[in-house]
Amino acid sequence: MEVIEGCRLPVLRRNQENEDEWPLAEILSVKDISGRKVFYVHYIDFNKRLDEWVTPERLDLKKIQFPKKEAKTPTKNGLPGSRPSSPERDLKKTLDLSLHTPAAGIGKTIPTPKRKLEAVSLTTQCSPATPVAPTPEIPTPVFAQQNGSVRRPVSAVAGRKRKAGCLGTDEDSQDSSDGIPSAPRMTGSLVSDRSHDDIVTRMKNIECIELGRHRLKPWYFSPYPQELTSLPVLYLCEFCLKYLKSLKCLQRHLTKCNLRHPPGNEIYRKGTISFFEIDGRKNKNYSQNLCLLAKCFLDHKTLYYDTDPFLFYVMTEYDCKGFHIVGYFSKEKESTEDYNVACILTLPPYQRRGYGKLLIEFSYELSKVEGKTGTPEKPLSDLGLLSYRSYWSQTILEILMELKSENGERPQITINEISELTSIKKEDVISTLQYLNLINYYKGQYILTLSEDIVEGHEKAMMKRHLRIDSKCLHFTPKDWSKRGKW
């Protein structure tokens, strides 16, 4: 029985509890190594970062499913038949519901039928990455603490696609004396439409990356030059992020590389943490290399070969050897959608240490200086959604818990006021309140009810959050890119 590409069958893998399991997997590629076949598999309903090469002993051939032949699309009068209705398309029809806005003044409310609130709440909970349509405003919620029932957050559905633009090419971006290609390969770039996926982009192509004192195992495909994909280790200069084929080439490069920090302006420093602002037009080589590295850990990221429209904010840790990259985010110089982040990443060695939330907090500090509200490009990746949900929840709860009552009455606050205080866009404020199940409709007005569990959970989370942005250490002057021609 020959196993071919497209087959599905159970494959042995070891889970996080170090136990063996046999999830269903799809064969994406087959190759021969020294006369023995190995198979590249994708575990169905698992993240692509778990894809791997396996040997025949790990395949359960008794339950193999061969790929089915594609059925022709039914036609009518020579034209393709209409597409069947999908749950996503049906769901969009329900998003026309919007809440009534207050007639005038802060604190005044107009009663809204309870069924309408439930309809919008349900829609948002089913798809947390989708903003409530269209820019709804909830009339002044009354804030109250409740010593009552436990309210558990609704589970979030991770976004599947990830659009973020920021990969450029430059023919002279690499030193040809190192014996490697001068630019990234132009094939295999991801686009936001999944129908354009090919087998190349579905498979990890880099085995290992050495970046400074860390060795990283890539999660996803990245369009590095094809000659480098067969190497056991790809070496990167940790300061300019140039890619090299051998340790000897790296050592020779380090004798010539004068950088000890990312190029650009240092706009924030507190303790050992610094942020550098890098213009994608002025520093194309660095921006391109940064995006190639980031693509190894970001799945649904659109790759554009033009970094000019983007700014990159790189977070570093300082020691006696220099400023070491921890993570970064990019943003468009001009965004018509109020996006303050296009793409965001904390490198794997620094994950689960609070740096992701620090990157998010820094993006909103920039929005505060700009006098704008911001939001990340959506849909978010699975890890991005978790990070943003956590940041939004903690930031908004921090505001609500600091409210004080006046004249013995319940404290009041509007959605607009929360948005202005935090620079979080109104849609994200509303979806977070609904995600936490805090909004209730009672006697003609909206009540924000905090249970003891919510308060205790927030206090515990804030005790663990040691890294915070100090606005006094930020030295940032926003630029009006609309008046700067081609930047």
Classify 371 in phi/psi space as left (phi over 0), alpha (psi -120 to 50) or beta.
Answer: left
Q: How far, in Å, CA of 42 to CA of 58, rounded?
A: 13
Residue 87's alpha-carbon distances to 94, 126, 210, 485, in angstroms, are 11, 11, 44, 44
The 3-state DSSP class for residue 463 equals helix
Token pair 């340790």: residue? 247
CB 165 within 8 A of CB 342: yes
Strand partners, 279: 311
Which of 195, 178, 311, 278 has its CA nearest to residue 236?
178
The 3-state DSSP class for residue 444 equals coil
Residue 377 annotated as catalytic: yes
Q: For residue 442, which phi and psi values (nearest 5 degrees)?
A: -145, 120
Residue type, 436: L
> Among 277, 377, 406, 459, which one carries the catalytic annotation?
377
Q: For residue 117, which phi and psi values (nearest 5 degrees)?
A: -60, -40
Element (H, E) at 53: strand 52-54
Strand partners, 26: 8, 42
- Name residues whose C-beta falls within 8 Å of residue 85's C-beta, 6 or more positions apart in sequence: none
Residue 389's alpha-carbon distances to 246, 266, 353, 431, in angstroms, are 41, 28, 17, 9
Enter the tokens of residue 266.
């240092």
Q: How far, in Å, CA of 226 to CA of 234, rounded?
A: 12
CA 107, distance to chain mean position in Å, is 36
DSSP-assigned letter for residue 307: -
Q: How far, in Å, CA of 126 to CA of 136, rounded?
A: 17
What are the residue numbers of the active site? 377
